Structure 1
């Protein structure tokens, strides 16, 4: 088992031995506080974009549901004729950066999540570790009213006017410890300074979301097939929190599956998809954007690969809050269509 997976399992189980990592957590927190003070004192300067910036992120390591939320918000804003653009670090992408993410962009260059976002929305998007350069690249090609940053909550080099933090109740805050003793990037007090969107099927907050599952589809449909949830599947996933995907499968009636987990943003090889029998594979849309180019390299690969799409469903209070916040920034949105 890889070290990263071993530690993630320990976080999930809140293993007591994690206390031995506390010195590293104190060091991590100390470096973070020093960096904050450098920006606060003006020794380091943050970039302020000429248009408002909204960050959608989390304070935990691993998936929280922020990408489906971002895709939903982009589509919603587009429906109201808001000229929105998106930036991202482009994790998993190899650059060169900054890179503009076109509808046919190379996933190896720009990363899997940016590819999924643009293929789902057609939004103008740029990626790279330097968010200022990504914004400048976007603004050189588009007139925008709002820029949404996919993640980057801890990226203090970029000033922002809005912050939405997604808090997944399936994971919670674990042992509430900072990396690497726990899976928090920042202490839970950080939630007091942002708009928190609770990701839960049975939420306790008015500001909440959940993921609705749409009908699975074949990644490379050579023929018309009907999805049969009673089949045996290989669940192939390379995401931050694979347990959520497994629960999604169970909610669909898929109970017979073998788990094959890979690191987040995994670079798939065809051997990752080869098994001794012909049982179908089932995976996420984020993984699918990496698997499809791979299948084009191996046209003789015949195994069925089913993709499970999910859509973020937001509470009414989320839209009310969004309209109010954007109005304060000078963006008067029309009523919901």
Structure 2
């Protein structure tokens, strides 16, 4: 287990020993607050795009469900006739940046989440650490009404008109401490006065979402003989921010005979990572699957079935009503 995985496991368990990291958390708070203040008072300048920008992010490290939410919002806006584009940091990709992402882009170049977003929606998308450069590249190639930023909530160099913060109630806020003592990027007070989308099956607020399981599919269809059987044994391969959520999904599918193989978020998979002592089928997430596609092209001899479990964000009606209201406020009308 890597140090990063060990610390993340401690966050999830609220391990008492994390208190030794408090001095680092205080330093993080100081640097973070100073940087934010420099932007607030205008000492550092933020870039304002020529069209409205909406940020979908979170105040925690690790998965919160924001990528399925973004995909759902993009599909919804496309149906409403709104020309939407997406930008992202492109974490895990090598670039060169800024980079336009298309359906043929590979995750080691553009990042795994951008590839998943584009493959799911065909939305115009640009990635790179410089958000301004990504927006300018995107607007050079597309006529757009709105840009959605995948994450970037704490990226004060980018001005925004709309912010949605996804709060996963399954994970909660842990020990409510800032990095690295806890997994908060910002104090929980950041939620006050913000648009918070509660991610939970049992909602306590009107603005909420949950994930529903889509139709499972086989990544290497040529090797399937008998179809999906939840009673068989599996090798679970997962490299996401909060793997426990995927295990809960497997429970819903009544998959309970498996060996778990966890990897860090955005892991750079090799074919050896999919090779085990047994011949059991593999089951994984869509985010991981975008990387497995590349491996299967490189290793056509690999004949172990790989099942993919897609999930879709289901939003409450209040989320859509709020989105329409916020977009109208910045001059974007629905068709």
TM-score (norm 1): 0.98
1:263 matches 2:264: yes
Structure 1 runs (4+) greater than 4 angstroms displaced:
none
Describe how 1:208-287 pairs up with structure 2 within 5 A.
208-223=208-223, 225-287=226-288
CA–CA distance in 2 between the matches of 1:244 and 1:185?
20
User: How many residue pairs align between the two structures?
Assistant: 334
Residue of structure 1 equivalent to 2:47: 47
Matched residue of 1:313: which SS?
Answer: strand
1:193 to partner: Cα distance: 3.4
Matched residue of 2:96: which SS?
Answer: coil
Deviations 1:23-65 (A, max 9, x none): 0000001001110111112111000000000000000000000
1:189 matches 2:189: yes
CA–CA distance in 2 between the matches of 1:95 and 1:182?
31
Deviations 1:120-151 (A, max 9, x none): 00000000000000000000000100000000
1:314 to partner: Cα distance: 0.3
Matched residue of 2:192: which SS?
Answer: helix
Deviations 1:41-90 (A, max 9, x none): 21110000000000000000000000000000000000011000000000
Deviations 1:162-196 (A, max 9, x none): 00000001100001000000000000010113210
1:243 to partner: Cα distance: 0.3
Describe how 1:1-337 pairs up with structure 2 within 5 A.
1-223=1-223, 225-334=226-335
TM-score (norm 2): 0.99
The question of whether the paired residues in 1 share the 8 Å contact of 2:212 and 2:312 is answered with yes
CA–CA distance in 2 between the matches of 1:223 and 1:295?
12
1:332 to partner: Cα distance: 1.6
| Runs (5+) with no aligned partner, structure 1 | none
Deviations 1:252-289 (A, max 9, x none): 11111111000000000011000111100000000000
| Runs (5+) with no aligned partner, structure 2 | none
The question of whether the paired residues in 1 share the 8 Å contact of 2:223 and 2:303 is answered with no
1:223 to partner: Cα distance: 4.9
Matched residue of 2:25: which SS?
Answer: helix
CA–CA distance in 1 between the matches of 2:249 and 2:102?
30
1:333 to partner: Cα distance: 1.6
- Two-structure CA RMSD over aligned residues (Å): 0.8
1:106 to partner: Cα distance: 2.1
1:220 to partner: Cα distance: 1.1
Matched residue of 2:70: which SS?
Answer: helix
Deviations 1:95-117 (A, max 9, x none): 11001001101221100000000
